[in-house]
Amino acid sequence: MKRTSFANWPCSIARTLDLLGDPWTPLVVREAFYGIRRFDEFQRELGIARNTLTDRLRRLVDEGVLEKRPYDTEPPRYDYVLTEKGRDLFTVMATMSRWGDRWLAGEQGVPVVFHHDACGHDTTAEVVCSACRQPLVARETSMRMGPGYPDRLKRRPDVRRRFGVS
């Protein structure tokens, strides 16, 4: 089945989902944060089919989230290491985990606890305003068109209403 691409949509959420929007891709990234680096380790930890894993790793490498580093030549074998772009997904993964802990954990409690080694405390992700450092919550936040919003869409009445433009 052909999937719709959101890679060129004027929305960073859509573009991110274009890369991470299937269930396996974020789990591959999660395992990379756990220190998994080799194909067989990813496969063993996730129970994922080889062809599916090959596809997800290739896409993450092509997108610059993971880097392939050779560790053996006969036969050729590679480690898959998070790049700066990949490491920057940590906040996305931590925020997803916090939401899942709050709404999906169940009576047993949260399955994984984040521990901040720098201060020695268990913690959860918190999204804060980059200017005032206060928590960023929906009821106190609005969206505006950014400089990358396409000119061709700015004139549409539905878009103008969405962004409160007269």
Tell me the DSSP string of 67-90. Answer: EEEEEEETTEEEEEEE-HHHHTTH
pLDDT at 41: 98
The whole-chain average pLDDT of the chain stands at 94
Is residue 1 pLDDT above 90, yes or no? Answer: no
Would you identify the CATH topology of the domain 12-87?
Arc Repressor Mutant, subunit A (1.10.10)
pTM: 0.90
Question: Residue 57 contacts by C-beta under 8 Å, 6 or more apart in sequence?
Answer: 28, 39, 42, 66, 80
The residue extents of the domains of the chain are: 12-87, 90-140
The DSSP code for 4 is P
Cα–Cα separations (whole angstroms), residue 100 to 3, 97, 116, 123: 26, 5, 19, 14
Map tokens 């433009």 to a residue. Answer: 165
Is residue 131 pLDDT above 80, yes or no? Answer: yes
Is residue 126 pLDDT above 80, yes or no? Answer: yes
Is residue 4 pLDDT above 90, yes or no? Answer: no
